[in-house]
Each structure stands twice: as structure tokens, then as C-alpha cells.
Structure 1
Amino acid sequence: MVGLKKLFNSAVVVIAFFSTSVALADEASEQEGQRIAEERKARDKGWDNTVADTVMILRNAQGQESERDMRVKTLEVEGDGDKALTIFDSPKDVSGTAFLSISHPIEADEQWIYLPAVKRVKRIASRNKSGPFMASEFAFEDLTSFEVEKYKYDLLREEEYKNMPVYVVEQVPQDDFSGYSKQILWIDKEHYRVHKVEFFDKKGDHLKTLDFEDYKLYQDKYWRPLKSLMFNVQTQKSTDLITKKLEFGVGLDESDFDKNSLRRAR
């Protein structure tokens, strides 16, 4: 009996040690994931404002395509999330449509869309943020700025991706209305640029993959991908966002991102 008791006690000690080691490892990977997210954000501060000429290519499961021309204006806000105004110029059925997104680190993001066909501004409710943006594979929540506080992080591993050393980081949305249970990101170690994101739905199944390609350096500091390619693995549909022209410091300010001026967006 004494021997059995000693064996039992030894097993308890081993289990306790193993559990403690796992907990410490989990804590370390979470801290490293948080550090990577903070560094990613820090590397992209100070750009102020931009305007981009962009083409949206919608592709159905059979490979049939349609294109939309749009302009995307963005404004960096000190101490808060960024603001973005998207204006569709063509084709005719979407021309004049304008979408305003005001991001926040902790509070709910604010989003409005102006639909010229009905001449009204509609607010996108937080519970609808997982819905498709203009029939694309991008959800409304995909169009908000990256803010560190929106997620919890965990460094899953380090590996090579497209001949680059990368961090593979899991981020879990803290907003109950998010359409995702988690996202997995491939972030290069040199510049902290995101190269790929896998999105998982509320059931935990792989939903979409977003690839960022053709990164270009602006003002010797700010990296921007010229291609953002979203593929829905469940429906086989895809949407490409191709940046044709991008300018920094074009003189935008808060007054250019007022929901009351959506009808006049040009």
C-alpha cells in the first residue's frame, strides 16, 4: 500500500508539473502574440491620410467576373481607429454608392452606406457586420482598421512562408458580433507585414483566405499591398482588390469623413 501511495503521489507531482509548464508556455506564446500585434501597429503609424484608386473584381464559382471602379480615402486618427470612405464610380448600377467606416479600438465600429438608388443613408448595425460588403467576399468588418485591442493573440509557431521567416499568429475577435471565431495570420519578421489571413466561421470551420501581394514601400516607411485577394473556400467565390494608384498626404481631414456628407461624396 505504501508503494502504491508513493506512486500515486509521484504521478500527481508529474501531472502538476506538466500542467504548470503548459500554462507557462501558453502565457509566453500569448505575450509574444501580443508583442507582435503591437509591433505591427507601431510600424504603421504617422501616415496621416491617403487616397487610392482601386478596382474590385468579383468572381463567382464558375469563374465569371465583373469589375467595379472605386476610390478609397483614409484618415489616421490619433488615439482612435482610422476612418475610411469608399466611393464607387462605375459601373452605372453602383456609381455614387458611398461607404463610410469609422473604426474604434474598443467601442463598436460605426459604418454607414449611401445608396443612390433609394437616396438614403443606411447605418450598418453591429450585429450585421459579418454580412457581405457590396456582394463581395469581404465582410463589413473586414473593412475596419486593425486595432490591437480588438483581439486576443497567441503565437502558434514560426516558419518559412514564400522564402520569408514569418510568425504564425492566432487572433480571436473580442466583439461578440464578429462573424469569425478566430483568424490566423502569417506576418513576416522583418517588416511585420501580413501576407496571409485565414478566417474561421463561428463553427470553427475554415471560411475564407485573404492573400496580400505586391507590397510597395511608400515614403521609405509605409508598406502597402497592391493586391488583396479574398477567396471563400466554402462557396468557391472570390474578390480581388487591386490598387492602381495610391497617394499619401492629400490634405484630407475630419470634415471629409462626415456621415452627413455621404450623399455629396465625390
Structure 2
Amino acid sequence: MKKLNLCKNPAALVSLLLMSSVNLFPQSLSGEDIIRRVDERYTGDTQKNTTTITLINKRGNSRVREIISYTKDYGDTEKNVMVFTEPRDVAGVGYLAYSYDELGKDDDTWLFLPAMKRSRRISGSSRNDYFMGTDFTYDDMGDRKVEEDTHALKGEEQINGISCWIIESVPKEPGYIYSRRVTWIRQDVLIAVKVEYYDRQGELQKILRTSDITEIDGIWTVRRMEMDNIQNEHRTILEFKNIQYNLPVEDSFFSVATLERGRIR
């Protein structure tokens, strides 16, 4: 249930994927086959990291924020909690999300604002809003299921000398925030290195690029993301640090009450 970004697999299969060359993949893979393999890529049962968020406007002015994040995979559900630690004006703001494998079951998402002293559920049209001034919508941060789109393999291309598949994903449901997404997926480690997002009018809206991809605890990991909003000339850079996998993480971290009590550090 892991995102391109961003899953679950037996350890033996993980080792095979990490060691195998692109020639070991069947030549008749479809777009859906590839996206499903990306979705099933093992990214640990738990993860902890700190993330630096840099917001850059069209004048080149920047703001920097930092968060701490915990993720835990429960099999059919993945839970993620993030809390802002810096600067002072956003410290304590929290985000909690439950992503479900079940088709047709929407993610449960909450945003906690200390000034309000309570959490607000994010649902419906609010999922198209941008998260805390970034160029990522709440929907971007969620877990989009493979079956929700039609995936077509459009070709192959090298990015920085590495072979990538190009996949076009078109939503099946009408009225989705994007009319389509085009994704470049590294064939060696099954990670997206570039995603183009097109708005409902078919115009290019945003481009996501990932870099600094390295192996940590046997898991291939993205350590930098940059989302470039073409239409409003704004950028968001995420840099992931202190990444740790498969450490014990308390179940109590993933509750609204814990978020509101400010227990997560």
C-alpha cells in the first residue's frame, strides 16, 4: 500500500528486486503491471524521519519548516503522522492519515492546529487544498490505489543515464483533481523519479522530481523531492534526514488524541 512515495513484500522477493537487472522483467509488462510492482515495493514495516520543507515563491523568497514523521504498516492499512517542530509559528501543527487497501474506501485524514485546540477532518473538496503552504495537496499525500486509474505504458527513456518506463495514468472517476499523470519509473529500483500532473483542462500544472536515491537498511529510499508548480511559479523542496526503518513505533502515536496532546516528538 506504499505510495510512489511515494509496500508489502516478503523479504526474499525484496532481495530479488534489489539485485535484479531490468532484463529479468518480462518484456510484455503492461502499464498496470509496472504500477502494481511499484505499489508493492517493500519500504519497511515502520519508518521514522525528519523532513526539511523549503517553500520558494516566484520572487525567489523562501521559508523553511521542519517536521518529524512516523509511518507504520498494519497490512491492510498504513498510518502516518507528521508534526511540525520548526519554526515557532507552525510548531505543533500535526497531520494524521490512515490509508486503506480496500478499494472504494477513502483515506481518513486529520489536521491539528494548536490555535484551535482541536483536529479537523479533511474530506471531500478539501482534499484538493494545498497542505500548509506546500505544492502538495492532501490528495497528493494520500495513497491512490492502482485500480483507481487506467495505466498505459507509453515508452522508455533514460534519466541521468538510468532506464525508466513512462506510464500515463488517467483517473476512472469523473471530476478528479487531475486529468492525467505521467510518471517516469526507474526500472532498476521501481521508484518514480519524475511525475507530471495535468489539470482538468489538460494543461501541465506541476512536476515532481525525486533525487538522492540511496539504499538504507536494504531499502531503496528517496531523500529529496521537488514539486514545481508551473502555473503559480511556486516550488516545494522536501529533504528527508535521519531515516530509520523497522524500529518499534507505538500504536498510540497514530491517534487524534495523541496528536492533540502534543506527545509526538
The TM-score normalised by the length of structure 2 is 0.83
Residue 254 (structure 1) shift: 3.4
Which residue pairs with 1:237 in the alignment? Answer: 234
> Distance between the aligned counterparts of 1:261 and 1:176, measured in 2?
37
2:60 maps to 63
Match of 1:9 in 2: none
The structure 2 residue matched to 1:252, chosen from 239, 249, 254, is 249
Q: Alignment length, in residue pairs?
A: 235
Unpaired runs of 5+ in structure 1?
Answer: 1-29
How far does residue 177 in structure 1 lie from its aligned partner after superposition?
6.0
Secondary structure in 1 matching 2:140: helix
Aligned-pair CA distance for 1:63: 0.6
Find the counterpart in structure 2 of residue 191 from structure 1: 189
Matches within 5 A, 1:79-90: 79-80=76-77, 82-90=78-86
Deviation digits for residues 60-91 of structure 1 (CA, Å, limit 9, x no counterpart)? 001100100111111112023x2111100011
Superposed, 1:17-56 pairs within 5 Å as 32-44=30-42, 47-56=44-53
Rg larger in structure: 1
1:95 to 74, 91, 95: 91
5+ unaligned residues in a row in structure 2: which ranges? 1-27
Q: Deviations over 1:206-259 (max 9, x none)?
A: 000000000111222x21111010000011100001112111122114332112
Distance 2:173 2:97 in 1: 16
CA-CA distance at 1:143 after TM superposition? 1.1
Secondary structure of the residue that 1:141 maps to in structure 2?
coil
Amino acid in the other structure paired with 1:231: D
Any idea what SS the aligned residue of 1:255 has? helix
Q: Residues 97-144 of structure 1: CA distance to partner in whole angstroms, max 9, x if unpaired?
A: 000111123211111000001112101112211110001111111112
Letter in 1 for 2:162: M
- In the aligned structure 2, how far is the partner of 1:252 from the partner of 1:217? 21
> 2:39 aligns to what SS in structure 1?
helix
Whole-angstrom distance in 2 between the partners of 1:146 and 1:75: 17
Q: Which residue of 1 aligns with 2:4?
A: none
Confirm whether residue 140 of structure 1 aligns to residue 138 of structure 2: yes
Query: Could you tell me how far 1:147 is from its partner in structure 2?
Result: 3.5
* Conservation of the 8 A alpha-carbon contact between 2:108 and 2:122: yes
Q: Distance in 2 between matches of 1:51 and 1:173?
A: 31
1:200 corresponds to 2:194:
no
Distance in 1, matches of 2:76 and 2:29, equals: 23
Relative to its length, the structure with more helix (as a share) is: 1
Whether the 8 Å contact between 2:32 and 2:152 is mirrored in structure 1 is yes
Q: Compared with structure 1, are the counterparts of its residues 141 and 125 closer, same or farther at alpha carbon in structure 2 (3 Å cutoff)?
A: same
Deviation at 1:152, TM superposition (A): 2.1
